[in-house]
Chain A
Amino acid sequence: MSTHRDRLRQAMGDKVQFVQGDDACAYGAILAGCTFFAGYPITPATEVAERMAELLPKIGGCYIQMEDEIASMGAIVGASWTGVKTMTATSGPGFSLMQENLGYAIMTETPCVIVNVQRSGPSTGQPTLGAYGDMMQARWGTHGDHEIIMLCPASVQEAMELTIVAFNLAEAYRTPVLVFIDGELGHMRERLVIPEDDEFELVERTCATSREGYRPFAAGEDLVPPFAPFGAGFRTYVTGLTHNEAGLPRSASAPIHDQLVRRLADKILRNTDQIIRYEEFGAEQCEIAIIAYGITARACRDVVEEGRQRGLKVGLLRLITIWPFPDEVVAKWATRVQAILVPEMNLGQIVHPIREAVAGRCPVMLQSKIGGELHTPTEVIDALEELRCQVC
């Protein structure tokens, strides 16, 4: 008899494939147990929706094309409250529209995953080209005090793996999690190896057990309240207003607001060691560091090898988790190098938290590139040479 997991694998096809980054995000979602996707097509993220539309009906899941991105975000929040794992995918213009309901998902502690295949903005910008212009919108796009979790893959394989991780983090901390790639990686094809079930971890949200005295937003020491899905017989009230542990609006109470919003932030900030991921290359005997993320980090990896051949003692810190920001890791690098180069496909966004973490320990130079083309290894090496002249 074929199990549900067998059906997933059958739907996805061959174990080894040559597919796009967008496809990989969809595969990651399916492997993570996502059974609901709502979205609105937008270049360069449409293939995520296409693939989910193809796969979900085959595994008993549900795909809905909504009227826009506001509704898409609303739909994945609502569906998540039935107890299933949900996802949407979009690009910059759609991500802008999702901000209000993203905040609602944070406030109502709703697990869900949002993939943003970034393109240039502002506005509709360059639909078919890659960019990383939404990095700060991800952090502060929705209003109010909050923390957010965001992961930034650099390859097709990693897009799949980190989408699984995103679902796990969303379930563990009952919060929306962002997976950010770009048009280039979204449309790039590479080998993808679909892992066996025993090769990755799956996390499920902790569910409430007793209906007696259940308070839907009362958290224990881990700061994450046990979840009770709609329809399971628990008395649950869900609101974006400041609410007490019973879920009831108490929007005029300073202590309740303070307690709630601090808990929402702390459940992420106290677990940064579980959430923050990064990769280091050439960290030993390194004089100049590159800090990069996403597809830009690939050229930088070439540069570590090429630079060393040319006598440049260069290392690379590749950020995988961008939010919560890995301050301590960046600070540690800042103490042992003479300068840091930050190549970004925007006019300078992640360079700001980097400078904050470096706190003047060494110069930080931004290498900005916009318009849709990637930084080439040669350009990065040239910038490193320039930086070396300045500091050495």
Chain B
Amino acid sequence: MKQEIRICGFGGQGVITAAVILGKAAAVYDGLIACQVQSYGPEARGGAARAEVIIANEAIGYPGIHAADILVAMSQEAFNRYINDIRPGATIIIDPDMVINYEAAPYAHLVPSTRIAEELGNVVVANIVMLGAVTALTGVVSREAMLASTLASVPSKFKALNQQALEAGMTVVAGQLP
């Protein structure tokens, strides 16, 4: 088993944090092998941000991604840039409020993570909504591991909010096939 996951958007959306939480869920809580790398511009907000996680059950050599098995796109620019670097049958998850034109992947799963996060009271958990969707759709990590990793990665006063965001992401894709 080897799954390559790319999460992309712009700086400030928590793209890298999401990848770190996902990798930690796999490596620390599910006992799998995981490797996470990232690239981002010098800006604190805005600019392109991209993070990648490889999850496998044996040693990971080359730490880069050949073609994504799972692509999470949180901006139009990121979607356009990475939609061709996917494996056939890849799971694609987009925020339809951020990625308006997704003709290149009409079968993408639509997860309005930014809107859901706003409804929960804080836009910063949009990335966690996406992680809920990834977990429910792909099973790349267990729900228990994802929850444990999320709660271990956020300040204690935001634990409840993050748990709600994770569950909202799982619910919004409930019943959909990967």
Contacts and interface: CB of A to CB of B under 8 A. Distances in A.
Is B one of A's binding partners?
Answer: yes
Contacts of B34: 18, 189-191
Contact of A374 (B20, B40, B63): B63
B27 A191 contact: yes
20 contacts: A14-B28, A16-B27, A18-B20, A18-B23, A18-B24, A18-B27, A18-B28, A184-B37, A187-B37, A188-B36, A189-B23, A189-B24, A190-B27, A190-B35, A190-B36, A190-B60, A191-B27, A295-B63, A298-B62, A376-B62
Nearest to B35: A190
A302 B121 CA distance: 46
Given A189-B34, A299-B62, A301-B61, 10 more contacts: A16-B27, A18-B36, A128-B39, A187-B37, A188-B37, A190-B35, A298-B61, A300-B61, A374-B63, A374-B64
A343 to B, nearest CB: 12
A125 B100 CA distance: 37
Interface in B1-59: 20, 23-24, 27-28, 33-40, 42, 59
B37 A17 contact: no
A302 B37 CA distance: 18
Contacts of A300: 61
Contacts of B27: 16, 18, 190-191
Contacts of B42: 128
Nearest to A15: B28
B34 to A, nearest CB: 7
A296 to B, nearest CB: 9
Interface in B52-91: 59-64, 66
B28 A298 contact: no
Interface residues of A, number: 20
A189 B64 CA distance: 12
A300 B62 CA distance: 8
A128 B50 CA distance: 14
B28 A17 contact: yes
Contacts, number: 58
A376 B66 CA distance: 9
Contacts of B23: 18, 189
A377 interface: yes
A81 to B, nearest CB: 39
Label chain B's interface by main secondary structure. mixed
B54 to A, nearest CB: 10
Most buried by B among A17, A298, A374, A377: A298
Contact of A191 (B20, B33, B62, B63): B33
Contact of A377 (B28, B33, B62): B62
Interface in B85-124: none
Contacts of B59: 301
Interface string A363-392: 000000000001011000000000000000
Contacts of A377: 61-62
Contact of B61 (A184, A188, A302): A302
A173 B15 CA distance: 45
Interface in B110-155: none
Given A189-B23, A190-B34, A374 B62 contact: yes
Interface in A299-319: 299-302
B61 A187 contact: no
Nearest to A156: B35
B24 A298 contact: no
B16 to A, nearest CB: 10
A376 B65 CA distance: 9
A168 B62 CA distance: 30
Given A298-B61, A376-B62, A189 B28 contact: no
Contacts of A16: 27-28
Contacts of A17: 28
Interface in A115-166: 128
A299 B63 CA distance: 8
Per CB-CB distance, the 10 closest pairs between chain A and chain B, nearest first, are A302-B61, A18-B24, A191-B27, A299-B62, A189-B36, A301-B61, A298-B61, A18-B27, A188-B37, A190-B35
Nearest to B24: A18
A187 B38 CA distance: 8
